[in-house]
Amino acid sequence: MSLQVDAARLTHELQVLATFSAAPAPAVTRVVFTEPDRAARAYVRSLCTAAGLSLREDAVGNLFARWAGEDPSLPAVCTGSHIDAIPNAGMYDGTVGVLGALEAIRALQATGLRPRRSIELLMFTSEEPTRFGIGCLGSRLLSGLTDAGAASRLRDRDGATLDDARQAAGFTGTVADVALPPGQYTAFVELHIEQGPLLEQRGIGLGLVTAIAAPASLRVTIDGEGGHAGAVLMPARRDAFLAGAEIALAVEAAARSTDAIDTVATTGVCHVFPGAVNSVPSRCELEVDVRDIDEGRRDAVLARVETACVDVAARRRVSVTTQVVNADPPARCDAAVVDALTASCVDAGFACEPMISRAYHDALFMSRVAPTGMLFIPCRAGVSHRPDEYAAPEDIARGVHVLALALARLAS
C-alpha cells in the first residue's frame, strides 16, 4: 500500500487545536466542557465531517466518527484519544491520538482502500481528572466500569454536577446509555506521545505498549480550627494545612518505602481555606495520585497513606477524612493487536520496541471492552503535562503511518 501521511497538514491542525486554550501559548489549558473545550470539539467535528465521516455523540460528549466499511454490520476497528488538557499543559498529549487517527483515516482513504470493517475514530471526554477529580471519565462510562449513578454524583469545585456541565455544553442524552454494548469493536488502538524519555534515549521511533500501570487517587479533607494569625498562640493551634503538609510528606515516604522504581505518588492538589495570609488554615483538601504496575504494591501504598492520616489526625488534633476516588487495575494489551502493530512496523521498515505505559490512557478502560493496543511516539526529553511538551512532526508522521497500516490490517 503506498500510503502518504500529510505531516504538514497534521502539524497545522495540531497548531490550530492548540489555540483553543484558556492559557496563553505555549501553554494549553482545556478543561472539559469549558469554552475552549467546546470550541476545540467543534473544530474536530468540522475536520471529521470534511473527511466524509459520519458523526455521533453520546450523553457525555464522547465523539464517534465513522468511516463505514464494506460490511458495516461487522464489529468496527476503533482508534482515538482525548483533546482535553490539564492546566498549563502542552499541545500533544491526547491530541496526537485524535488528529493523528483522523490523518491515518484520510491517508487510507487516499489509497482507494475500502476496508471490510468500519474504522471509527473515538474522541473521549475528559481523560484528564482536572474538573471532576476522576480520570478517563468518558472511557470509564463506555466500559461500564463507572455507572450513571456514580457519574451523577460527580461535582466540580464550583459545585456544578456532571449533568449540569454536560447539558450546558449541549450533551443532553441519557448517561445510562453511554456504556458500549458487548462486541462493539474488534480492536482498539490508541496513538499517544510516550510522556517519558525512553524512546528518545534509545533512539527508537515507536513503542508498542504491552501493559498500562494501575492508577489510583485519593481525596483527603482535613478540618482543623481557624483563627487570627496574630492572636492564636502556637500551642493552641490545630492548623489544617500543616496536617496536610505532613500527609503529603507521608505520601512521598509511602511511595519510596516500596523500593520499587515503578511506584510513584504525587500530591498535586492542595486547597487551603480560607487562604488568607493572616488566617490560620481551618480546612485543607489534598488530591493524591498513586500508581504502580503492581496493583498489590499500589494498594499497600494507599493503606500506608491512610494509616499516616490517622496518625496525623491524632497528633495534630484535626479531623482527617479520606475518599478513594478510583483504584483501577492495570491493563494488559491484547497479543493479537500488539502483533498487528508489530507487523505494521515491520512492513513500514520502522524500528519499535515493547514498553510499559506509566501514564494512564483511555486504552486502560477500552481494554475491558475490546482487544486493545497502544502505539507510543517519542516526545522531547520525555516532557509532558508542561507547556514545553514537544513531539517532532516526523515522529508523529511515523506513528500515524504505522497506525494507518495497523487499522487497515485489523479492518481487513
The annotated binding site for Zn(2+) is made up of 82, 93, 128, 192, 385
CB of 216 to ligand GLV, least distance (A): 12
- The binder of 365, among Mn ion, ligand GLV, none, by C-beta within 5 to 8 A per type, is none
Query: Are 214 and 292 in contact, with CB atoms under 8 Å apart?
Result: yes
Q: Which is nearer to ligand GLV, 61 or 135 (CB)?
A: 135
Point out which residues bind ligand GLV (CB under 6 A): 128, 135, 359-360
Residue nearest ligand GLV, Cβ-based: 359
135 makes contact, choosing from ligand GLV, Mn ion, none, with CB < 5 to 8 Å by partner type, with: ligand GLV
Q: Give the H or E element holding residue 375.
A: strand 372-377
Q: Which of 13, 58, 84, 93 binds Mn ion (CB under 5 A)?
A: 93
Provide the minimum distance between the beta carbon of 94 and Mn ion in the complex, in angstroms, as a whole number: 4
Give the separation between CA 263 and CA 291, rounded to whole angstroms. Answer: 6
Residues that bind Mn ion (rule: CB under 5 A) add up to a total of: 3
Contact yes or no for 284/219 (Cβ under 8 A): no
Tell me which of ligand GLV, Mn ion, none is bound by residue 241, counting a contact when its beta carbon lies within the kind-specific cut-off of 5 to 8 angstroms.
Answer: none
Contact in structure between 295 and 256 (CB atoms under 8 Å) = no
Smallest gap, in angstroms, from Cβ of residue 222 to ligand GLV?
24
Q: Of Mn ion, ligand GLV, none, which one sits near residue 61, judging by CB under 5 to 8 A according to partner kind?
A: none
State the nearest-atom distance from the C-beta of 135 to ligand GLV, in Å.
Answer: 6
Closest CA to 93 of 103, 83, 105: 83
Output 31 or 313, the one with its CB closest to ligand GLV.
31
Judged by beta carbon, residue 5 or residue 134, the one nearer ligand GLV is: 134
Minimum distance from residue 128 beta carbon to Mn ion (Å):
5
Among residues 129, 98, 260, 264, the alpha carbon closest in space to that of 196 is found at: 264
Q: Quote the CA–CA distance of 192 and 264 in Å, as a whole number.
A: 21
Residue closer to ligand GLV, measured from CB, 227 or 329: 329
Closest to 195 measured CA to CA, from 329, 86, 325: 86
Nearest residue relative to Mn ion (C-beta): 94
Q: Which is nearer to ligand GLV, 142 or 359 (CB)?
A: 359
Work out whether 359 is an interface residue with Mn ion (CB under 5 A): yes
DSSP-derived secondary structure for 17-65: HHTS-SS-TT-EEE-TTSHHHHHHHHHHHHHHHHTT-EEEE-TT--EEE
Segment interacting with Mn ion (CB under 5 A) among 214-222, 307-315, 351-359, 392-400: 351-359
289 is an interface residue for Mn ion by CB under 5 A? no
- Report d(CA 56, CA 61) in Å as an integer: 9
In whole angstroms, the minimum distance from the beta carbon of 206 to ligand GLV comes to: 20
Asked if residues 226 and 280 have their Cβ atoms less than 8 Å apart, the reply is yes
Toward Mn ion, which CB reaches closer, 13 or 362? 362
With binding defined as CB under 5 A, does residue 94 bind Mn ion?
yes
35 vs 51: CA distance, rounded Å? 25
Exposure string over 240-266, b if 16+ CB within 10 A, otherwise e: bbbbbbbbbebbeebbeebeeeebbbe
- Residues annotated within the binding site are 82, 93, 128, 192, 385
Rounded-to-integer distance, Cα 115 and Cα 95, Å: 25
| Smallest distance from Mn ion to CB 272, Å | 25
Q: Which is nearer to ligand GLV, 285 or 287 (CB)?
A: 287
Q: Does 101 bind Mn ion (CB under 5 A)?
A: no
CA end-to-end span of the chain, whole Å? 13
For 178-206, give the DSSP string.
-SPPTT-EEEEEEEEE-SSSHHHHHT-SE
Distances (CA, A) of 197 to 140, 202, 358: 28, 9, 12
Q: Hey, which residues does 185 pair with through a beta bridge?
A: 76
Nearer Cβ to Mn ion, position 63 or 359? 359
Residue 399 lies near Mn ion (rule: CB under 5 A): no
The entry of Mn ion, ligand GLV, none near residue 390 (CB within 5 to 8 angstroms by kind) is none
> In whole angstroms, how close is the CB of 55 to ligand GLV at the nearest point?
25
Residues in contact with Mn ion by CB under 5 A are 93-94, 359
